[in-house]
């Protein structure tokens, strides 16, 4: 009899009727499990859980056409309760959200009315950790004077200076469209005052007239960025300013990042930069941008890499820099800056005016490692052993070595059986190196056991 009672108790405690999510207790060792949209909405609707730990155990599709789907009008998690001002009125998310390599797809937010803000999957996060999360095909639209809008996070901030939050191994794709007068808009985060690393955005960002601080990854960036990139086009309308392919305004270091989207402003726009718009403090090193930067008539301060910078080293830009009639302060690499330090930085000859800030290089020179003085490339030790840069000599411009995984021949960001075929096909033969798409993974000119060793070392990386 006692055994029967005990069994009943165990069943009752473990019963799904009592489980709030798909498992877990919310503690660090046993995070709440998010397995579907219902679990995500349970989290969204219970602010008392915003300081708990969560892990996704399946992809979640938020398509509004699904039976339970909806088009949201606010952020999902940590939303601004009173949206009639720019102050965050709500509970910030302060917990841990581990996407565990899963994706949240098709999030749509249509926020109508003036002065809406804190829009994204997370409206406002503080001293939290968000990691290993993909946000695919996000679409956010908002009206005039929006603030703090990002695909993943509206505002990423902290209460104390000793406890920065962390966003790592996250990405977003889709589009964001904001009305005129909007500020602090980014493809991943509108405002960042924490650490962001190993993350990217493929979000197209469009803001209207008189919009400011619009970035492909982050709008206003106050925390360190490393190993990040953005590919979306970033556009503002007339009288808009501080628009950047990766970030707009920045106050902290940016290292090992790049952007490829085009940056544009309308008439009377200012401070447009391929990578970043306006530096308040912080160094930019080992970065590049390839997007075109375009202002309308009477625009000013337009730079291939940065509009107004301070300390910049080991960077390049290749996109064209142009403004309409009456525009001024244009530069191939940087438009202006004070105080100024530019070390070993280059721009493609003819891409923009040579204002003697940065060194112009021809297309041929840009494809030669020797042109980049002092840069720490792979397979050389003279300039360091961090091996930041890699180049396919004579074929393409330098890339950041972290963009490549040795052995990932099909470039799908993991190393598995499919990637073994090129090694077998070229076995004991001369071949090009991995940065040129070849099977010679250690760069000694031949495909042999040494390359197998590199391949083995990276086996199942990314999975």
Instruction: Please state the three-class secondary structure of 110-133 as a single string.
Output: EECCCCCEEECCEEEEECCEEEEE
**C-alpha to C-alpha distance for 155 and 404, rounded to whole angstroms:** 31
Cα Rg of the chain (Å, integer): 24
Q: Does 59 bind Ca ion (CB under 5 A)?
A: no
Q: Contact with Ca ion (CB under 5 A): which of 46, 68, 89, 393?
A: 89
196 or 439: CB nearest Ca ion? 439
Q: Does 49 bind Ca ion (CB under 5 A)?
A: no
5 or 449: CB nearest Ca ion? 449
262 or 442: CB nearest Ca ion? 442
Q: Contact with Ca ion (CB under 5 A): which of 100, 387, 404, 452?
A: 387
Which residues are 342's β-sheet partners?
Answer: 312
268 or 409: CB nearest Ca ion? 409
Helix%, strand%, coil% for the chain, nearest 5? 15, 40, 50
Q: Which two tokens stand for residue 208?
A: 């209207």
**C-alpha to C-alpha distance for 36 and 67, rounded to whole angstroms:** 13
Sole window of 3-11, 177-185, 362-370, 382-390 interacting with Ca ion (rule: CB under 5 A): 382-390
Of the candidates 359, 360, 379, the one whose C-alpha atom is nearest the C-alpha of residue 369 is 379
Q: Provide the H-helix boundaries in 380-448.
A: 420-425
Could you tell me how many residues of this chain bind Ca ion (CB under 5 A)? 16
Q: Does 129 bind Ca ion (CB under 5 A)?
A: no
Q: Contact with Ca ion (CB under 5 A): which of 159, 444, 453, 457?
A: 444
Provide the mask over 389-408, with x wherever binding to Ca ion is found by CB under 5 A and - wherever it is not.
-------------------x
Q: How far is the CB of 62 from Ca ion (least distance, A)?
A: 23
Q: Contact with Ca ion (CB under 5 A): which of 127, 143, 209, 451?
A: 451
Residue 430 neighbours by CB under 8 Å, 6+ apart? 440, 445, 446, 447
Q: Does 410 bind Ca ion (CB under 5 A)?
A: yes
87 prior amide bond cis, ω within 30: no
**C-alpha to C-alpha distance for 411 and 364, rounded to whole angstroms:** 26
Which residues are 331's β-sheet partners?
Answer: 303
Distances (CA, A) of 339 to 189, 240, 283, 408, 416: 28, 25, 12, 42, 49
**C-alpha to C-alpha distance for 420 and 408, rounded to whole angstroms:** 9
Of the candidates 336, 334, 337, the one whose C-alpha atom is nearest the C-alpha of residue 347 is 334
φ, ψ dihedrals at 306, nearest 5°: -140, 140
Q: Contact with Ca ion (CB under 5 A): which of 29, 82, 160, 162?
A: 82
Q: Does 124 bind Ca ion (CB under 5 A)?
A: no
Q: Does 98 bind Ca ion (CB under 5 A)?
A: no
Q: How far is the CB of 271 from Ca ion (least distance, A)?
A: 28
209 or 451: CB nearest Ca ion? 451
Q: Does 440 bind Ca ion (CB under 5 A)?
A: yes
Q: Contact with Ca ion (CB under 5 A): which of 49, 80, 143, 157?
A: 80
Q: How far is the CB of 128 from Ca ion (least distance, A)?
A: 19
Q: How far is the CB of 377 from Ca ion (least distance, A)?
A: 5
User: What residue ranges bind Ca ion (CB under 5 A)?
Assistant: 80, 82, 85, 87, 89, 376, 380, 387, 408, 410, 412, 419, 440, 442, 444, 451
């Amino acid at each position: 009899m006692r055994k029967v009672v005990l069994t009943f108790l165990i069943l009752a405690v473990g019963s799904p009727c009592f489980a709030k999510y798909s498992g877990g207790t919310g503690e660090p060792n046993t995070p709440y499990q998010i397995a579907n949209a219902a679990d995500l909405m349970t989290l969204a609707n219970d602010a008392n859980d915003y300081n708990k730990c969560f892990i996704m155990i399946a992809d979640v599709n938020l398509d509004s056409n699904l039976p339970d789907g909806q088009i949201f009008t606010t952020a999902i998690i940590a939303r601004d309760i009173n949206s009639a001002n720019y102050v965050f009125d709500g509970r910030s998310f302060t917990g841990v959200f581990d996407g565990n390599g899963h994706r949240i797809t098709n999030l749509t937010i249509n926020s109508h009315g003036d002065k809406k803000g804190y829009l994204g999957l997370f409206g406002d996060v503080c001293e939290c950790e968000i990691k290993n999360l993909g946000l695919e095909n996000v679409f956010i639209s908002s009206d005039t004077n929006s603030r703090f809008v990002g695909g993943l996070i509206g505002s990423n901030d902290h209460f104390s200076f000793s406890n920065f939050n962390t966003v790592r191994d996250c990405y977003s794709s889709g589009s964001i469209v904001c009305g005129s007068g909007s500020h602090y808009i980014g493809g991943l985060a509108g405002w960042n005052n924490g650490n962001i690393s190993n993350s990217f955005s493929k979000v197209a960002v469009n803001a209207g007239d008189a919009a400011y601080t619009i970035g492909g990854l982050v709008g206003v960036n106050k925390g360190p960025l490393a190993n990040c990139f953005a590919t979306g086009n970033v556009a503002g309308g007339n009288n808009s300013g501080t628009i950047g392919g990766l970030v707009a305004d920045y106050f902290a270091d940016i290292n090992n990042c790049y952007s490829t989207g085009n940056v544009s402003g309308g008439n009377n726009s200012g401070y447009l930069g391929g990578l970043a718009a306006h530096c308040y403090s912080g160094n930019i090193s080992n970065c590049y941008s390839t997007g075109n930067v375009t202002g309308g008539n009477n625009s000013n301060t337009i730079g291939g890499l940065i509009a107004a910078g301070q300390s910049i080293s080991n960077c390049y830009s290749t996109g064209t820099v142009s403004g309409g009639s009456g525009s001024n302060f244009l530069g191939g690499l940087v438009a202006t800056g004070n105080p100024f330090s530019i070390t070993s930085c280059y721009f493609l000859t003819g891409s923009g005016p040579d204002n003697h800030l940065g060194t112009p290089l021809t297309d041929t020179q840009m494809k030669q490692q020797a042109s980049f003085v002092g840069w720490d490339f792979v397979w050389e030790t003279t300039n360091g052993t961090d091996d930041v840069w890699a180049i396919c000599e004579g074929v393409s411009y330098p890339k950041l070595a972290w963009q490549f995984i040795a052995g990932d021949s099909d470039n799908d960001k993991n190393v598995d059986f499919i990637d073994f075929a090129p090694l077998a096909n070229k076995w004991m033969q001369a071949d090009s190196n991995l940065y040129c798409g070849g099977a010679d993974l250690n760069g000694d000119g031949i495909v042999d056991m040494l390359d197998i060793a590199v391949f083995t070392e990276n086996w199942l990386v990314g999975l």
